[in-house]
Structure 1
Amino acid sequence: MEGSGILKSSKGKKEDLYHVIHKVPYGDSPYVKAKHAQLVQKDPEAAIVLFWKAINAGDRVDSALKDMAVVMKQLDRTEEAIEAIKSFRFICSKQAQDSLDNVLIDLYKKSGKIEEQIELLKRKLRSIYQGEAFNGKPTKTARSHGKKFQVSVKQETSRLLGNLGWAYMQKTNYMMAEVVYRKAQMVDPDANKACNLGLCLMRQARYDDAYSVLDDILQGRLPGSEDTKSRKRAEELLTELKSRLPQAQFSDLMGLDDDFVKGLEQLMNEWGPVRSKRLPIFEEITPLRNQLAC
């Protein structure tokens, strides 16, 4: 009898470990089978069929609808996913609506439905300033890559504004995008949104403003500046900015004023013949400065 108990205990531990590793829930319901097909069998088509069964059976409908839409998105069935959320979100709980909105925003973004994306983002922002977000609480629990973390209203506002700014960028409405990005940075600044703001300013040919924003990242003045991805993007944007400007103008932007450049040119001349020894950068600067002087 004692041996039997040990075997059962061992079996139970193995099952627990299985569910932890594969992140699938316990049971034998349609939703559990759908998650098994999605995460263990890696069969998204079968998972969608089973998620539909779960929704029709009323089995964990909130999660089933959201998870099904995510799988559909992965299969490029975005239109179908959008219609599914619109058609069945009314049977989901009030607590699930925010998550469904976020999935819908991603679906609109992927399918190129910019107007719908902007309208939904505005509606979510409106609910925040009307005090309706997070069911009146200052924070909410979010999940990313299987990990839970707390998100404040302030962080959520900045995130939504960032998404709205990007949507306006896709419509080439750069003035509106700039306004939104600057609002986002006022609420909760970070390096990623600063990169987008820098790009927005570049698209308006406001290179000095763009340089200032990108320099804040590279000088570590913004939260997230240490992130490798953000720094790399800022460097790439700065390289693009440099390619759009005459070398003389970029030198001025970097703080290389006329006296400084002339001093370097004089030093180069002292080292040897003008044509053979001067650095390429000064060959480019001189004719451009003469043109500007005229």
Structure 2
Amino acid sequence: MKNNNNSCFKKGDENNSNYRVIHKLPNGDSPYVRAKYAQLVEKNPEGAIVLFWKAINEGDRVDSALKDMAVVMKQQDRAEEAIEAIKSFRDRCSKLAQQSLDNVLFDLYKKSGKLEEQIELLKQKLQMIYQGEAFNGKPTKTARSHGKKFQVTIKQETSRILGNLGWAYMQQTNYAAAEIVYQKAQQIDPDANKACNLCLCLVKLTRFNEAKTVLEDILRGKLPGSDDPKSKNRAIELLKELESFKFATSSSSHLVLLEDVFIESLDQLMNQYVPIRSRRLPIFEEISAYYRDQLAC
């Protein structure tokens, strides 16, 4: 490796064959490579951001440069700038990079407390699944967590997105919408963590007996993740709190809540993203039919 091709490295670094591997640096001496050096080796986030901007403007590995810059900006509490950067420059990125950018954008919305934007993005991602556009048309995708790679199925991704959507509705105190979304997520790919959130929604809707049943399923080990100490302890605490509530409630007020929130919010959840001649997402068709039957009883 010749020094004149690697000017961003300190003298002697280029002679270490393991140097790039250790620091996870790409080859070359372009603006993007220098940005990664500033980020990973020099621990200079501001310098890295400047170089990522340069890489984007010069068309140097734009897919990676935009995503990496947004991540560094988030770490520097510059989430608003990162959101605007992605919105402004994602059209320069390849189609393969769009879903990855959406994931970064969602994290930025969460950090900024932008609930409406989170919900809109999650609805778009559900629509992509419905149209067969998720995972770039493949049945699975490779994900990474704590340095390990694993495969994610469409089924798991759908449940994950629904879980995030339910959580966003909970932050809006729209518990009727959140409960319905969590119910569907549990039908698709159940787990104890989402079950705890479902229980909270049911409590807020004064459906205490149903909430207790959900918690008992966790404590009896009937759900994946029930043996996780965090989920189990959370279920125990929720059950203690639940037993302190009074179970008296008005059934008529419960139906009005479903009418007001469910029909106005979830009945139109996906309509704006579906062409006029298309039907709504099947998962929400099923939910609508279920609750129409419940309201008719």
Q: TM-score range by the shorter chain?
A: 0.7 to 0.9
Residue 209 of structure 1, CA deviation: 1.7
Q: Distance in 2 between matches of 1:13 and 1:228?
A: 48
Matches within 5 A, 1:249-260: none
Structure 1: tracts of 5 or more residues without a match: 1-10, 250-294
Aligned positions of 1:50-61 closer than 5 A: 50-61=51-62
Q: Does 1:139 align with 2:140?
A: yes
Q: Which has the higher helix share?
A: 1
The unaligned stretches of length 5 or more in structure 2 are: 1-12, 248-297
- SS of alignment partner, residue 28 of structure 2: coil
Letter in 1 for 2:17: E
Q: 2:252: which partner in 1?
A: none
In the alignment, residue 68 of structure 2 is paired with which amino acid? D
Supply the distance in 1 between the matched residues of 2:121 and 2:151 (Cα, whole angstroms): 23
Match of 1:245 in 2: 245
SS of residue paired to 1:220: coil
2:17 alignment partner, one of 9, 15, 24:
15
Higher RCO structure, 1 or 2 (CA under 8 Å, sep 6+): 2
- Structure with larger Rg: 1
Question: CA separation in 2, counterparts of 1:144 and 1:153?
Answer: 18
2:208 pairs with 1:207: yes
Partner SS for 2:70: helix
State how 1:1-294 maps to structure 2 within 5 Å: 14-16=16-18, 18-242=19-243, 244-245=244-245
Give the partner amino acid of 1:53: K
Cα distance, 1:73–1:240 mapped onto 2, change above 3 Å:
farther
Relative to structure 1, the CA distance from residue 47 to residue 146 in structure 2 (aligned partners, 3 Å threshold; closer, same or farther) is: farther
- Count of residues paired in the alignment: 235
**What letter corresponds to residue 99 of structure 2 in structure 1?**
D
Match of 1:54, as an amino acid? A
Aligned counterparts of 2:136 and 2:57: Cα–Cα separation in 1: 27
Pair 34,230 (structure 1): closer, same or farther in 2 beyond 3 Å: farther
Q: Distance in 1 between matches of 2:45 and 2:32?
A: 13
State the one-letter code of the partner of 1:218: L
Q: Distance in 1 between matches of 2:178 and 2:191?
A: 16
What TM-score, normalized by structure 2, do the two folds share? 0.74
Deviation of the 1:164 alpha carbon? 0.5
Letter in 2 for 1:55: I
Paired with 1:215 and 1:171, the residues of 2 have a C-alpha distance of: 27
TM-score (ref. length: structure 1): 0.74
Report the RMSD for the aligned CA atoms in angstroms: 2.0
| Secondary structure in structure 2 of the residue aligned to 1:15 | coil
**CA 1:173/1:46 → structure 2, altered by over 3 Å: closer, same or farther?**
same
The C-alpha deviation readout for 1:63-85, integer Å capped at 9, x for no partner, is: 11111111111222111111000
| Mapped partners of 1:171, 1:226: distance in 2 | 30
1:237 to 1:87, Cα distance in 2 relative to 1, 3 A: same
Q: Distance in 2 between matches of 1:55 and 1:32?
A: 12
Q: 1:137 to 1:76 in 2, by over 3 A?
A: same
Moved more, 145-154 or 46-55: 145-154
